[in-house]
Structure 1
Amino acid sequence: MKRVEDLLLGLILICPVIQSAAVPQGHHAVDVLLPCEYVLLEPGVTGLAFKRQKVTLVLHNLTVEGEEPAEPLPDFKTPEDTEEAIFEATLNVPPLPFAERLLHVECEGEEAVCEITPLYSHFYIAHIRLPEVNIAIVAKAGAAVDTEQPLSEKSIIPMTADLLVSSGPPSLKASVTDEIKFSCEVWGDNDVQDIEWHLQKEGKGKKLNPGVDSHVSILQEKQEGQEDSSLTIQQLTVHDEGTYICAVSLGPHRLQQILQLQIKEPPRVTLSLSKDPTPTLICRTDRYYPLDVEVEWLLNGTPLTEATVVTSSHRRNSDGTYNLSSHLQVSIPPKDAPDDVYTCSVSHVASEEKIQVDFTVSASDPLILPQIIVVILLAVVFGCVVIYVKTWSTPQVDKTKKVS
């Protein structure tokens, strides 16, 4: 016997057409097969553990935009014999904007994460994760769900799915002051009771309230067979980083969509020469996030491995970003010697390439010679002052004699 995916490889890649009078004009319905895992939660030696079982998910009646192919392929036929369980879910939802992605996910070589979990009574939930969208499908089976026992490899489980929740993007990376948007959609003729947005960070959670968070806005729209909620955050700060949860309440169902926001701010690097007390280059690395930063010094393109470098600890700015400084004492090249080019090279996770700033030190460096001249002048002035003070502090002897 062959596995289901081997028997139906052509169907997985091409997705056969289904003739359906209910499909809107300009659309066509297809079957999509996805390799999935059936996940059960069971007690383990060290606590709760997940038991996983390979299964196949068939999505019947997935409506795709565009006219149907000139040569329709046959519908998916449940095999008489199989080596793994099959979930067959017939979708009763409007056309989905990401249906084309589901149709071609296997063809494009992308990895779609698919997990099916028993809920309660006759209900299962399927989670499908693509790079740009999360999908949750609540489906009802004809037989009661066993939340403890694995499925028989011969199991064929027909289901109907009247509720689908999608959200995206699953993960975002943004910089400080950027604007981002998360979306959450509920598909199907369902009476949605509520859609809420929450932020989970550092073990604490809070419900987002545009009335309290002025840079946060939530827009909700409803149309036939669909209800949308979008979360927009303007002028991002590092405090906005975390896990965002779209919580949907619909009858007995409580669904959550998990979305991640990561803040990455590249450092601003400046290099200057300090005059006092000895010539010292100061490399300031400012307003970076997160902490992962490395500073390296180079002299004429060669790393300085034996130089004395003093680097401060990470200091936190008021906006949550960080800064540090690195100090390197430099020597002045002899007269008529070539200039020395010092480089401060900074590596950070927010920048694909190293950020490098150069500073040229020469024997006639205008920043160094004035310092030497000032020191000499100060010494001369100090000497004059000392002589003056000694002269006026010595008692004067009156050498004039009185004539009687």
Structure 2
Amino acid sequence: RANVERTRVALVYCDVDGFKRVNDELGHSRGDALLARVADHLRTAVTGDDVFVGRLGGDEFVAIVARAPEDSHLVALARSLRDGFEDRSSGGRPTRLTVGVATWVPGDVVDPEALVRHADTAMLEAKRSRSGFRVFDRALRRRVEAERLQRSALETAVALEQFTAHFQPVVDTQTLEVLQVEALARWNHHGHLVLPADWLALAEESGLIVPIGLTVLREARRALERFQMPVAVNIAARQLTEPDALEQFETAWGDAYWEHLTLEITESALVQTVQAVPVLSELRARGARVAVDDFGTGYSSISRLGRLPVDVLKIDRSFVRELGTERGRGAVRAIIALAENHSLDVVAEGVETAAQLTALVDLGVRQVQGNFLGRATPSLPVRGPRPTTSSIPIVAPPVRSLHSVPTARAGQ
């Protein structure tokens, strides 16, 4: 009808903030009563002959506004829906609505699901920015389109095996010997290396982090053979929640030399992902070590640390940057004491200056990594003498055929 009349249609998407907390803490009957109050609020606030109000499911409601007004009026409607509802019946913080608005205009493809997605995207953006309401405007549309293109490029990169690993050294602070290398994922996009900061969040959200992580693990296994040196690999929580996670790890790494592998997982992922602990425990039983990455920035309970399958604490770079202050040094001292109490090793990451290295040595940190000690490179990054391999059994490399090399002629 709007196409015939050349009018717009708006979809107003409302989400109840904190609804899960009400259900979990106060019971489903209180949650149901809250939903009924939201429905009454929407019926009262969104009126007119060309308006339809409904509940999509869970705590999500929509209002469809035919013959929709200009964006400024839709913003005012979203604000009134947000400001006009404040439910205090659950105790504690009041329950509010977060609102997203998307509009169909004549000439657009008739795609109701896309309109719902756009309104949902606007609502999620309002949650992220804590603004309470947001309209799916041109700027948000451009961002969504850019993310769609990036996701398509990321899927292509995985299919074409464009991901590889670069290796950063972990060194002894006393001797500068390279003790280990950490395999870091890099996306080789038409000869240009794309760092994880530009694609990691999308890879985790889309699930593409699973094949990317397995690629890096395979590269790490090959690095063990090339460098004859232990390797560390970052793993995402998503990898540990796969139904066949153990089989995937075994296929990528192999069935031997687990004792030369360190699996690094962020503190928040380790604590918040229930499935992570049994999988890590099983891999640890095979001989692998487990490191808590970015330690001190997550939400772990110190009392739980002794019960988690952990061997190493990695001091986050944010604490290393603050070593020039007493607050920063105090945080590092606390982490070292905690590690000693639980018989854990400590590695400080993000060392960028000689002053930071000196401060860490003074504090008793024995293992560090960072650009000051060596940047991540495709080959073995060496700073100082390599450690002897007397305690590390030589890893048998795969059999390779030898090619003859022409002998140089006299005089050359």
Query: Going by fraction, where is strand more abundant, 1 or 2?
Result: 1
Question: TM-score under structure 1 normalisation?
Answer: 0.21
Query: Going by fraction, where is helix more abundant, 1 or 2?
Result: 2
Higher relative contact order (CA 8 A, sep 6+): 2
Q: Which has the larger radius of gyration?
A: 1
